[in-house]
Structure 1
Amino acid sequence: MPVDRIHWDDLPLAARAAVEHHTGPVLHAATADAGANSGIAAIITTADETLFVKGVPTDHPQIRTQQREAAINPYLPPPCPRLLWHVNVAGWDLIGYEHLVARHADYAPGSPDLPLVARALLELQSTRCPDIGLKRAEDRWSGYAGPAGVEQLAGDTLLHTDLAPHNVLMTDIAHLIDWAWPTRGAAWIDPAVLILRLMEAGHTAEDADAWARGEFPSWAAAEHDAVAAFSEANAHTWDEIARHDPQDWKKHMGRLAHDWVTYWRTQAP
């Protein structure tokens, strides 16, 4: 459920004061264009630093995803922007992050960003998954599973699971952001999620699969039936997303998810 976006000056005075308790007086604030899941997303400048502030009203369902972001941040690999503070006041839940001067990743075929994205994902796969009550993959996708079931999705890898290009910021390395859906599961699930986004950017299913096999040992070693089970569940997930909010890009992702299922069925186990 999207949140109506407001500007920094529209926040209640008490909320702004709570932020400035951590930052000092805000001299300038610019509303960010990207993202639809925050009621405020602003780059703020003080006398000493520039920060990224995001937040949602405390009575909005989206607060659960923001609280997950705050909870997982201390356990993320170093390239992920650090959470600096978290305040809940005047009907708003607000978090402040390090600000990166960066751009969104380019997933197009041949993009020089792709090896850097792969490196960031490999670093994540080698990061210890914290014991903080994360959703388990086999539970998260159980309601969407077909006959193959989802027990094969279980694992102990920390997963991002929402690797859209706007959730990856590029400097000289790739930085994974927007941790609304951290999950514990099999390591190959994030490459499977990334493959759909590569297809969205113009890769064929075959080319995206081949690229992932060359970059991620977890994907190259994934059991055919396990990938089939996830792919079917993920396609059903996108179907539901598009039904509830039929934006063109969501319907397109649903079609790509089914195209991937069709492709995977042709691959020898």
Structure 2
Amino acid sequence: MSMPRMHWDDLPAPARDAITERTGPVEKVETVQGGANSGFAARVHTASDVIFVKGIPAGHSQMPTQRREAAINPYLPPASPTLLWNVQEGGWDLLGYECILARHADYSPGSPDLPLVAAAIEELQAIDSPPLPFVKTATARWAAHLTDSAVLEGATLLHTDLAPHNVLVTDRAHLIDWAWPTRGAAWIDPAVIILRLMEAGHTAQDADQWAQRFPSWASAPAGGVEAFSTANAAVWAEIASHDPLPWKQRMAGLAEHWAGYWQHRPHTGL
């Protein structure tokens, strides 16, 4: 559930003081409007630095999401911003990140961002998931829609929400918003981004071809991908039925289309 975005002056004084103690004197604060899961999100400017600060009221239903995001940060690849500090004060849980002055990635066909996005995902594909209790397994996340969830087993750290608004681009791509770190088969993240490529205008075949650059996708078991694609289509259909926003309806349609494409695609693997 999204929450209203608050500005600097809306924060309780103890929360503002806690931020200032860590950043130094604040000269300017720019509220960031993107994203729906933070009550406060802003670029905090000092005389010598810019820090990205996001926060959520203590006790809010989204608190577990933010706690996961903070706890997973030390294990993330360089493609993700570094968490500098985490403080609870004034009834708020606040995270201070390295600020990346960037724009969201463009996934459209022919975009120069695509090789940068691929490089960031390749970096992530080499990371094993840390043994942390809050990191769900892919088998657990999609089990309700699979007859054999073992096909998703693996040791790779997965992002699982590689939408363009979760990827920032400078001279490289940066993966942000780690609300759902997951452990599973490495080919799951390529499967996830394929739908986002299709959302941006790629055909299913072109998105599939683009993903072949990842060894995990090129060698993915056809039966496992088919099971996941069917399960993911069911998840998106469920999401769209509960909250029929146009973009969710579109994602549900794309997921169904992809599942159909994969079922009829010639396969040489298992």
- The bucket for the TM-score relative to the shorter chain is over 0.9
Partners of 2:195 and 2:251 within 8 A in 1: yes
- 1:121-160 aligned within 5 A: 121-133=121-133, 134-145=135-146, 147=147, 149-160=148-159
Q: Secondary structure at the match of 1:5?
A: coil
Q: Percent identity?
A: 61
Gaps of 5+ in 2: none
Q: What's the secondary structure of 2:238's corresponding residue?
A: helix
Q: Deviations over 1:70-93 (max 9, x none)?
A: 011011111311001111122211
What is the distance in 2 between the residues matched to 1:244 and 1:91? Answer: 31
**CA deviation digits over 1:127-168, x for unaligned, max 9?**
2321112100001111122x4x22100100000100000111
Q: Partner of 1:141: helix, strand, or coil? A: helix
Given that residues 69 and 180 in structure 1 are in contact (C-alpha distance below 8 angstroms), is that contact kept between their aligned partners in structure 2? yes
Are 1:2 and 2:2 counterparts? Answer: yes
Q: Which of residues 236, 248, 260 is equivalent to 2:258?
A: 260
Q: Within 5 Å, which residues of 2 pair with 1:39-78?
A: 39-78=39-78
Alignment partners' CA distance in 1, 2:238 and 2:60:
21
* Residues 79 and 123, structure 2, Cα contact 8 Å, conserved in 1: no
**Matching residue of 2:16:** 16
Q: How many residues align?
A: 266
Measured after TM superposition, the shift of residue 12 of structure 1 is: 0.8
Counterpart in 2 of 1:203? Answer: 202
Deviations 1:184-221 (A, max 9, x none): 000000000000000000001011001111x1110010
What is the CA–CA distance in structure 2 between the aligned matches of 1:237 and 1:92, rounded to whole Å?
Answer: 32
Superposed, 1:162-181 pairs within 5 Å as 162-181=161-180
Q: Distance in 2 between matches of 1:227 and 1:8?
A: 45
Deviation >4 Å, runs of 4+ = none
What is the TM-score of this pair, normalised by structure 1?
0.96
Q: SS in structure 1 opposite 2:41?
A: strand
Tell whether 2:114 aligns with 1:114.
yes
Q: CA deviation at 1:231?
A: 0.9
Alpha-carbon shift at residue 37 of structure 1 (Å): 1.2
Query: Is residue 53–residue 95 contact of structure 1 (8 Å, CA) maintained in 2?
Result: yes
- SS class of match (1:259): helix
Contact persistence 1:3–1:56 (CA under 8 A): no
Deviation by residue 1:10-69 (Cα, 9 ceiling, x = unmatched): 111111111111111221111112111111111111122101111111222111111111
Q: Which moved more, 1:91-100 or 1:189-198?
A: 91-100
Q: Which structure 1 segments of 5+ residues have no match?
A: none
- Equivalent residue of 2:87, what SS? strand
Residue 93 of structure 2 corresponds to residue 93 of structure 1: yes
What amino acid is aligned across from residue 143 of structure 1 in structure 2?
A
* Aligned-partner residue type, residue 139 of structure 2: E
Where 2:101 maps in the other structure, the secondary structure is coil
Aligned 8 A contact 2:129 2:182 in 1 = no
Which letter maps to 2:10?
A: D
Task: For 1:211, give the aligned amino acid.
Answer: W
